[in-house]
Amino acid sequence: MNIKSYFKISLGLVSVLTTQISCVHDDNWDAPEITCTNKFDAATKTMAEVAAMAPTAGAVKIAPDGAPIIFDAYVISSDEQGNFYKTISIQDKPSNPTVGLQIEINKAQNYADFPVGAHIRVKMNGLVIGTDAGVKKIGAPDPSYAIGRIPQTILGRYLAGVCDGNKIEIANLVPTEVTLNDIKADKYVNTLVKVKDVQFNGDEVGKPLMNKDASGAFIDTNRNLVDKMGGSAILRTDGFFKQSSYLIPGKSGDITLVASKYGTGSNPWQTVIRSVSDIDFTKDRFATGIVGGTNITYSGSFTENFESYNVDFAGFAKYFNYSYVGSPSRYWQIKTFSNNKYIQMSANAGSGSYQTFFMVPVDFTAANTLAFRVNVGFYNGDALKVYTTTNYTPGSDISTATLTDITSNFTIPKTPTSGYGTLAPAGTYNIPASVTGNGFIVFKYEGANPGVTTTIQIDDIVVN
């Protein structure tokens, strides 16, 4: 274990420190002699053994006058920036931990007394341990709650630092490397983890990390993380977080998190950062949600009528079908009506925002025109945009490409508002001579529920 020395006189630690200062009436001063003495005896239990005492619901009190129950732990959280309000998250080892716990404390600014990496000793006698909202917690007896907060005035009876010579031990914590799907397990709750190759959802890029309520006050906010392994997780930020205006970066990289949980529902898993310095995004965004595109060929003359595909098919080898925003992902799919096949996309019966791109490779040097047929159903707002791009790198995040909007060159119906219309020519776009090289024609569906749920149908894409 890589240990460095740390000392700070503060509440909870002052009782383990004694200082002698000798002064004489001349210019000779004796250096203060600082002695660090462990307040509690050596551990009598492992942290895992103590965690096992927690019932699956409610809490049990450890007898105040029973045999001493003492365990060692390492602080992994910090409330310096406002997350982890009146709580401390601890794990049993600086690296490769086997268990984590949460301590409830009726005091803020705990980072000053118990900084990240602090080796602490916890005496359980007189405290309670239990499970609350799916999380194992330590706290004080409370007539109103199963697990109350330990009062600030008596905190020193139960928590103290562990000495290393004449100073408090501070460990170098090594986060456990996991994927976003890995951390959805109880064994990681209240332990420090690192996820590589991760980014925020595309529709959150550029937004402040936190939302505001009607009065303009910042509120508890969930943001969505995705990784290259296809995993996803919620990043939860407390309304007290001081770095609330931090803008979500349009980059990817590594992130250090405290794994967390709230409740016992189908998806109770959350993650929490200690500060924005836990976000180390320096690489370009990567693409997630792409299906198809395994046989991309750039051509200047072709027709796609979709008749060769089965109904509901989405994995077109010749095209990229790219669900950029939406959970679960939604794709352009083959549909049929009156023995005619076409692609269709809609936000109807969904939940949240959706952005899905159908990307058609084109040799723009050889191509002169673009035409297609279009239809809408249950129109309640514009949902289709058409673009060209000549700098999209296949398989990369669409935000890295320059998209030229050519939607105004086509007629996209705004009726019917109930039922479906009929597929009809959208018009012909003359590709400018200045647009050359290999690129893509991009059909973008953007909708939301609640919001624009218009159904879009496209057929007979013709490039000449």
Q: Where are the domains of the chain?
A: 3-171, 176-284, 290-463
CA 193/CA 171 separation, integer angstroms: 16
Residue 155 has pLDDT above 50, yes or no: yes
Residue 19 has pLDDT above 50, yes or no: no
- State the pLDDT confidence band at 287, using cuts at 50, 70 and 90: confident
The domains spanning 3-171 and 290-463 adopt the same CATH topology: no
Mean pLDDT of 335-352: 97
Q: Answer with the residue of higher pLDDT: 150 or 17.
A: 150
pLDDT of residue 56: 93
Mean pLDDT of 201-209: 93
pLDDT of residue 1: 45
Which segment of 156-165, 357-366, 414-423 scores lowest on mean pLDDT?
156-165
- State the pLDDT confidence band at 126, using cuts at 50, 70 and 90: very high
Mean pLDDT of 417-443: 99
> Burial code of 1-36, b = ≥16 C-beta within 10 A, e = fewer?
eeeeebbbebbbbeebbeeeeeeeeeeeeeeeeeeb
CA 226/CA 287 separation, integer angstroms: 10
Residue pair 133/262 in contact by the 8 Å Cβ criterion: yes
CA 94/CA 53 separation, integer angstroms: 22
pLDDT of residue 327: 82
pLDDT by residue (tens digit) across 25-57?
A: 344 444 455 567 899 999 999 999 999 999 999
Q: Which two tokens stand for residue 66?
A: 């029973």
> For the domain 3-171, what is the CATH code?
2.40.50
Nearest to 451 by CA among 382, 376, 386: 382
> For the domain 290-463, what is the CATH code?
2.60.120.200
pLDDT by residue (tens digit) across 371-405?
A: 999 999 999 999 999 999 999 999 888 988 999 99
pLDDT of residue 8: 38
What strand order describes the sheet that includes 384-389? 290-292, 320-325, 352-363, 438-449, 384-389, 404-405
CA 421/CA 276 separation, integer angstroms: 50
Residue pair 47/72 in contact by the 8 Å Cβ criterion: yes
pLDDT of residue 288: 84
Question: What is the percent of the chain with per-residue pLDDT over 70, rounded to a whole number?
Answer: 92
- State the pLDDT confidence band at 217, using cuts at 50, 70 and 90: very high
Nearest to 181 by CA among 255, 258, 225, 233: 233
pTM assigned to the model: 0.70
User: Any residues with CB less than 8 A from the CB of 93 and at least 6 apart, and which?
Assistant: 1, 74
Which segment of 104-113, 160-169, 312-321 scores lowest on mean pLDDT?
160-169
Does the CA dihedral 444-450-452-456 come out positive or negative? positive
Question: Across the chain, what does the average pLDDT equal?
Answer: 92
Which segment of 324-333, 339-348, 386-395, 403-412 scores lowest on mean pLDDT?
324-333
Residue 367 has pLDDT above 60, yes or no: yes
Choose which CATH entry (2.60.40, 3.30.460, 2.40.50, 2.40.10) describes domain 176-284.
2.40.50
- Angle in degrees, CA 82, 86, 92, rounded to 5: 100
Residue 289 has pLDDT above 90, yes or no: no
